[in-house]
Structure 1
Amino acid sequence: MLPNQKINEIALSEKLEVSRTPVREALIQLASENLLEFFPRRGFIVKEIDTKKKLDVFSVVGVLDAFAATLALENLTEDDIELMEELVRKIDLSISQKNYTDYQKYQNQFHKVYIDKCYNSTLIELLDSLQNSFVRQIYLSKDEEKLFTALEQMNEQHKQIIDYFNTKDKESLEHLIKNEHWKITHIDMI
Structure 2
Amino acid sequence: MKAPLRWPAPDEPASDLVLERFAPEQTFKAKVYAALKQAILNMDIYSTPEPTWIDERQLSERLGVSRTPVREAVAMLEQEGFVKSMPRRGIMVLKKTKREVVEMIQAWAALEAMAARLVVENASDADIKKLRTLFEKFDEGHKPSDFVHEYSDANIRFHQTIIRLSGSRTLAEMTANLLVHVRGLRQLTIGRDDRASRSIVEHLAIIEALEKRDRDLAERHALDHTLGLAVYVEEHGDIFD
TM-score range, shorter chain: 0.7 to 0.9
Deviation at 1:12, TM superposition (A): 4.9
Kindly provide the amino acid, as one letter, of the partner of residue 122 in structure 1: T
Distance change in 2, residues 1:65/1:91 (3 Å): farther
Pair member with larger Rg? 2
Offset of residue 17 of structure 1 = 9.9
Secondary structure of the residue aligned to 2:103 is: helix
Identify if the C-alpha distance between structure 1 residues 98 and 31 changes in structure 2 by more than 3 Å, giving closer, same or farther: farther
- The residue identity in structure 1 corresponding to 2:53 is I
- 1:12/1:23 contact within 8 Å kept: no
Number of matched pairs? 185
Aligned CA RMSD, in angstroms, stands at 3.5
Aligned pairs (5 A) from 1:1-190: 5=51, 7=53, 9=55, 12=58, 21=67, 31=78, 34-40=81-87, 42-90=89-137, 93=142, 95-100=144-149, 102-131=150-179, 133-139=180-186, 140=188, 144=191, 146=192, 149-184=194-229, 185-187=231-233, 188=236, 189=239
Output the CA distance in 2 between the equivalents of 1:110 and 1:32.
Answer: 30
8 Å CA contact 1:61, 1:130 repeated in 2:
yes
TM-score, normalization by structure 1: 0.75
The DSSP-based 3-state class of the residue aligned with 2:135 is helix
CA distance in 2, matches of 1:158, 1:117: 15
Once the two structures are TM-superposed, the CA of residue 73 in structure 1 deviates from its matched residue by 0.5
SS at match of 2:92: strand
CA contact (8 A) 1:3 1:48 kept: no
Q: CA-to-partner distance for each residue in 1:140-169, whole Å, 9 max, x for gaps?
A: 26x95x35x112212211100011011122
In the superposition, relative to structure 1, how do residues 103 and 42 fare at CA in structure 2: closer, same or farther (>3 Å)? same
Cα distance between partner residues in 2 of 1:163 and 1:63: 20
Structure 2 portions without partners, runs of 5+? 1-44
Q: Is the 8 A contact 2:54 2:92 kept in 1?
A: no
Q: With structure 2 as the length reference, what TM-score do the two structures score?
A: 0.61
Indicate conservation of the 8 Å contact 1:157/1:181, yes or no: no
Determine the C-alpha separation between the residues in 1 that align with 2:79 and 2:59.
20
Contact 1:13 1:23 in 2 (8 A): yes
Q: Which amino acid letter does the alignment assign opposite residue 92 of structure 2? A: I
| Structure 1 residue runs without a partner (length 5+) | none
